[in-house]
Structure 1
Amino acid sequence: MGAFTFVGVAVTSSTGVIFGHVISNPIDLLAHIGGFTTKVLAIFGIILATVTTNVAANVVAPANALVNLSPSYFTFNRGALLTAVIGILFQPWKLPSSSESFVYTWLVGYSAVLGPIGCVMVADYHFIRKRELIVEDLYSSSPTGVYYYSGGFNLAAVAALVVGVLPVIPGFLEKVEILSNVPKMFRVIYGNAWFISTFFAGFFFWVSPIC
């Protein structure tokens, strides 16, 4: 994944130097490079990147989530197949119709929410619980369980999520044209939404007195 990400960034950046404007869509880039063999190799690379990166990144997590939701019914294979069906029903091919909206609205926007959730889990596991978990309580809804918290909700985690997302909201609202002329600082924050929201949320959760 890291290798394909680097190639994507490097190739996209180089198109600005070679062609005078940035071409972020690899399919559009194929129209600008010559030679049958080159195009065949490029298409093979795109297919390989899709299978090894996109499928792995976007199928494994929801398939495992379905298994956790109902271990008696779902196997990983069933979860992966259902994920594929749901993915098709969502018509994801409409998202890349505009690289601007796909990357800077959709991807950046939801990364600002998923990043804090992941960082809260990392902070809780590594820094607060010192990598010790009570497995039985993870799957228990008993009020006496360690992870029942307050009515079944970890209020510190919810607060950390809010703290992480709040700085990103003005830039997001400008991006979707709800607000206009927000201060430049918020545009910079939104451009780095994953990093800022993730570390804000993780640090707040770590130092929060109610965690």
Structure 2
Amino acid sequence: MTMQGASPRLYNEDLAPATVRNWGPFSIFNVWTSDVHSLWGYYLAASLFLFCGGFVNFIIAIGIGSLIIYALMNMVGYAGAKTGVPFPVLARASFGTFGANIPALVRAVVACFWYGAQTALASGALVALLVRTDWFLQFHQNYHFLGHSTLEVICFLLMWGAQLLIIQRGMETVRRFQDWAGPAVWIMMLILAVYLCVKAGKFAFTSDIPMDVLLAETKDAGVPGLPGSFEALAAVAAIWVTYFAALYLNFCDFSRYAPTTKAVRTGNIWGLPINLILFSLVAGVTTIAAYDVYGEVLLHPEHISAKFDSWFLALLAALTFAVATLGINVVANFVSPAFDFANVFPHQIDFKKGGYIAALIALVLYPFAPWETGAAAFVSAIGATMGPIFGVMMVDYYLIRKGEINVEALYNENGEFRFQSGWHVNAFIAAGIGALFSSILPAFTNWLPAWWGVYGWFFGVAIAGVIYYALRSAAVGSGAKAARA
């Protein structure tokens, strides 16, 4: 699509408003099956189950969190469907035509971290399968490279390369891939749960994991309260919401291809609260059954499948988990930085080149493995960095602009969104103060309560949003007075 008067520094075909709108409710639904049905999604759900102390508590906490996620995703999803633009272009309305590069790069860096984390878990599924063979087990134990076993490095590179093949043909290939990858892992998760329940001799919705085991497993996670307490349940809901912090920003990268906001809403209702609760239910049942069968808490599904007596079932599980994790990586952690990096240099970087840059950064991060920490702590730390950006963008879109944006002006460097030479100072002041309380103070000082970090994303959204609204209202008031004078 060609935009009249578009600046070459702000425009290329990948960043232009979407003209082909064929992502119906099923494709939107499968954005979430691809995003949730991964090894990291399961690992987080199983980890959070331990904080709840029981199954009913778990479903209540996850259910509340899932409804919040649904509401937030609709907010940014509607903006994408209405404007047809990707996240970095939408951010120009609040941060300025060139200032939008900063939140875009923040989102891109976070995506690179997640890209590496998901690729590492996908490769771990292959490692868990291969070490069932004595030769691979010996190779795994005796040979090391870059701080990992050589077998882990080889499997990581295989998974890393496989993802690049998926995106060779653009977003339509991504849509087709996710339409079958997400449902595939649902089938495998059900097989895993049924297998363990049959082996345990029961189907249990009640947990018999002793409290001392729960305390031992959760003591270093940074979640307040004892398992099952109100404090712990509130934290579980908050962490579950924060897990999706990255996609609150760039869900419009996908919803821009939806024909209507109704398609977004329908896909979201099935893909978020309904799908999330059912997936979490399966994760909880599997965690209980795995403890009954093996006498230990197993949070990683590839570790469970590695214990299967059947080689074929273990192979099927490993391949399915690997494919599903590639699905979330392509959807959540490749598409976003591809657009984000393209937004910085539209003439030099297109969608594919931007994705390659993200993949290379993830590869460089692999030896350092910054994602090898507790699931809850990792999600909270990563998610908190993006709350202030979301707060500014949503306040700008819904409260300041009432959901109406001049799309053509988003591509004009001398138009409505120029602000201060392409940078909107008020947006950066608000986001900076929000980041101070969401990320910087909790991470680097002990000035705030210990529980603050769990809710860092929420504080970032609220503080940045309120400050931005106040600054914008003051600016509009000053402009009106100047005009009357």
TM-score by length of 2: 0.36
1:191/1:141 CA distance change after superposition, 3 Å: same
| 1:165 has 2:196 as partner | no
Amino acid at match of 2:442: G
1:188 deviates by 2.0
Contact 1:113–1:161 at 8 Å: present in 2 too?
no
State the shift of 1:53 in Å: 0.9
Distance between the aligned counterparts of 1:197 and 1:155, measured in 2?
A: 18
Residue number in structure 1 paired with 2:152: none
C-alpha change, 1:148 and 1:210, in structure 2 (3 Å) is farther
Partner of 1:176: none
Contact 2:302 2:317 in 1 (8 A): no
Determine the structure 1 residue equivalent to 2:478.
none
User: Which runs of 5 or more structure 2 residues have no equivalent in the other structure?
Assistant: 1-30, 50-283, 476-485
Matched, 1:125 2:397: yes
In the superposition, relative to structure 1, how do residues 51 and 124 fare at CA in structure 2: closer, same or farther (>3 Å)? same
1:51 paired residue number? 326
Does structure 1 retain, via aligned residues, the 8 Å contact 2:342–2:349? yes
Distance 1:61 1:53 in 2: 12
Q: 1:190 aligns with which of 423, 439, 453?
A: 453
Q: Which segments of 5 or more consecutive residues in structure 1 lack a partner in the other structure?
A: 174-178
Q: Shift of residue 60 of structure 1? A: 0.7
Structure-2 separation of matches of 1:21 and 1:156:
52
1:108 to 357, 380, 391: 380
What do residues 169-208 of structure 1 show as CA deviations (whole Å, max 9, x unaligned)?
Answer: 44323xxxxx56x66xx32221122233223322432344
Q: Do the aligned partners of 1:120 and 1:201 also contact (CA within 8 Å) in 2?
A: yes
Distance 1:187 1:157 in 2: 28
Alignment match, 2:347: 72
- Counterpart residue type for residue 99 of structure 1: T
| 1:160 to 1:26, Cα distance in 2 relative to 1, 3 A | farther
Map Cα deviations across residues 8-28 of structure 1 (whole Å, 9 max, x no partner). Answer: 154453366442664443433
SS in 1 for 2:417: coil
Is the deviation greater in 115-124 or in 66-75?
66-75
CA contact 1:167–1:189 (8 Å) conserved in 2:
no
TM-score by length of 1: 0.73
- Separation in 2 of the partners of 1:62 and 1:21? 39
SS state of the match for residue 73, structure 1? Answer: coil
Q: Please say if 1:86 is aligned against 2:364.
A: no
Root-mean-square deviation (CA, aligned residues, Å) is: 3.2
Distance 1:113 1:91 in 2: 21
Assess if the C-alpha contact under 8 Å between 1:63 and 1:76 holds in 2.
Answer: yes
Query: Could you report, residue by residue, the CA deviation over 1:124-146 in whole angstroms, capped at 9, with x for unpaired residues?
Result: 1222112333345434444xx32
Larger mean CA deviation between 79-88 and 23-32 belongs to 23-32
| Alignment partner, residue 204 of structure 1 | 467
Alpha-carbon separation, structure 2, partners of 1:81 and 1:103: 29
SS of the residue aligned with 2:369? helix
| More RCO (CA 8 Å, sep 6+) | 2
1:33–1:39 contact (8 Å) kept in structure 2 = yes
- TM-aligned CA deviation for residue 152 of structure 1: 3.8
Q: Secondary structure at the match of 1:133?
A: coil
Q: Matched residues in 2 for 1:86 and 1:195: separation?
A: 28
Q: Which amino acid aligns with 2:316?
A: L
Q: How many pairs are equivalent?
A: 198
Counterpart residue type for residue 394 of structure 2 = V
- How far apart in 2 are the matches of 1:85 and 1:39? 31
Contact 1:16 1:23 in 2 (8 A): yes
**1:57 deviation in Å?**
0.6
- Distance between the aligned counterparts of 1:113 and 1:67, measured in 2? 21
The range that moved more, 192-201 or 130-139, is 130-139
Is 1:38 aligned to 2:38, yes or no? no
Please say if residues 123 and 206 of structure 1, whose CA atoms lie closer than 8 Å, have aligned partners that are also in contact. Answer: yes
- State which structure, 1 or 2, has the greater radius of gyration over its C-alpha atoms: 2
Cα pair 1:119 1:199 within 8 Å, conserved: yes
State whether structure 2 residue 302 is matched by structure 1 residue 27: yes
Identity %: 26
Inter-partner Cα distance in structure 2 for 1:130 and 1:64: 26
Within 2, Cα distance between the matches of 1:66 and 1:141? Answer: 18
